[in-house]
Amino acid sequence: MTSSEENSGYLPAVAPDLLLVRWGHGEWQVRSISERLAAWLGIEPWSARGRSPERIFTEAVPSLVDLAGEVLDCGQDLGDVKLRLTSGQPGFLADIQFAGLTEDYLGRLVRISLRRETPASRQEVGFRNLVGSSPAMREVFRKIRLYGPSDAAVVITGETGAGKELVAQALHEESDRHAGPFAALNCTAISDQLLESELFGHERGAFTGAIREHRGYFERADAGTLFLDEIGDMPLHIQAKMLRVLEDGKVQRVGGEKSYQVDVRIIGATNVPLEQAVAEGQFRADLYHRLAILRIHLPALRDRSEDIPLLADMFLQQFNVKYGKGVQRLTPEAIRLLQSYLWPGNVRELRNVLERVVVEAETEAIGARAFGEWIHERQQFARSSLTPNAADRPQLPVVVPYKANDDGSTVVDAAMVSPGRGRGIRSELNEVTIRAAYRAADGNLAAAARLLGVHRATLYRHLARLNLSREQLS
């Protein structure tokens, strides 16, 4: 392979790079190999024909035979599979496809096309410490690049677990303050009294237990960035003190008389609209106008399900290192299963689920079956969410693929995540579940829609499809 070809990041477009055949008795053979791939392996193309691929690609991870067998057994082509042919060498991205039958109809062919995985190609699916290639995430990346160099305050909106702190860190790294400190504080993680001390600091003897002076987060973030998570839940009396800091850049510690000059950029995050908090008198309007200069909305994971394979691959690599595992990938069925789920806990929940299955994994590929116990747990939670007493508990979306039994109960159905059915509960609402949600919400359609994890307009469309009226539900 020439240096120019190697720098291009691709094996030249010779189709296919590898053609395998599986005979009826299960034996695999190499039918053909491209001259370019053979040269890269240091062999002659003719020497590979008729040989077992496992003998030629002894160090391939994952196994080429396993990948090709999965294509034939599942009837589903694989694309962009990360593949390493020899240890210590750069990896490839592989497309594995069914290629028809042999001339005597006794063997089935699988073609494998390879292209080099390069740092440039990896950067296309993420930015800084964020991962995603969906249009919504590309818009987030665009705003981070645009807002990063500014000193203006930023408010990041998005659901819990979506990764708002990662966006704040990326903004800091893109700013001229990147060499300074990045300090993060969750406004709901500590009590109101301690929050004031943590933000502004306190002097020795300011209150019982203050045995020494304490530098608050504003002082610790001087010349850097201060990230305040769940800023919408900040108590009003602390909001007033914070407004003064934003106006004159001076911090006065609790129990102190001296003011300290600070230079801090504020990034706030909230999972509830600040406008609503202002209207309800829970957030100061003047502080809102000082903070909400720039806005970035981080989409929920269910609204960017195309990013799930990228996130899953990243988490698999992290947990392989953490637990000494060798998991290489999720099967297509497992990916479709994850994409059918509505993820109320967002990326944080996905990470936790994958950590669980990696710990339990004993193979290189994780299939949908590995998620069976977790699915059962979520199905049980969904069922309890639709009981008559559910209105007394926090309302969370019903978030599992399901089917209805004759008795009205719901169970997870593996067929719900078969090819072409990976849309989840939003497209599979039936009369039984809608009635249960309507009863649990005491006849409030908007609340029923929230229980089901769909927009109210979506629920109305399902009612029209089922020819159900509000009177019939009642």
pLDDT digit string, tens, across residues 68-102: 988 888 777 887 787 888 766 667 888 899 988 98
Name the residue ranges covered by the structural domains of the chain.
3-117, 126-297, 307-474
User: Comparing 182 with 377, which gets the higher pLDDT?
Assistant: 182
The pLDDT value given to residue 384: 61
pLDDT band, residue 221 (cuts 50/70/90): very high
Mean pLDDT of the chain: 80
**What fold, for 126-297?**
Rossmann fold (3.40.50)
pLDDT band, residue 424 (cuts 50/70/90): very low
Lowest mean pLDDT among 310-324, 339-353, 419-433: 419-433
CATH number for the region 307-474 comes to 1.10.8.60
- Rounded distance between C-alpha atoms, residue 410 and residue 377, angstroms: 13
Percentage of the chain with pLDDT > 90? 34
The pLDDT value given to residue 53: 92
Preceding amide of 62 cis, omega within 30: yes
Selected from 3.30.450.20, 3.40.640.10, 3.40.50.720, 3.20.20.140, the CATH number assigned to the domain covering 3-117 reads 3.30.450.20
Contact between residue 437 and residue 458 where contact means Cβ atoms under 8 Å apart: no
Sign of torsion, CA 454 345 274 148? Answer: negative
Q: Cα 303 from chain centroid? A: 10
Give the model confidence (pLDDT) of 373-399 as tens digits. Answer: 888 787 776 666 555 454 443 333 343
- Sheet strands (E) in 243-293: 250-252, 259-261, 264-270
Computed on alpha carbons and rounded to an integer, the radius of gyration of the chain in Å comes to: 28
Sign of torsion, CA 73 74 77 78? Answer: negative
Average pLDDT estimate for 274-285: 89
> What are 107's strand-pairing partners?
23
Phi-psi region of 223 (alpha: psi -120 to 50; beta: other; left: phi over 0): left
Q: Do domains 3-117 and 307-474 have the same CATH topology?
A: no
Please give, one letter per residue, the 3-state secondary structure of 90-142.
CCEEEEEEEEEECCCCCEEEEEEEEEECCHHHHHCCEECCEECCCHHHHHHHH
pLDDT at residue 182 tops 90: yes
- Rounded distance between C-alpha atoms, residue 167 and residue 171, angstroms: 6
Average pLDDT estimate for 122-142: 81
**Which pairing describes strands 28-33 and 107-116: parallel, antiparallel, or unpaired?**
unpaired
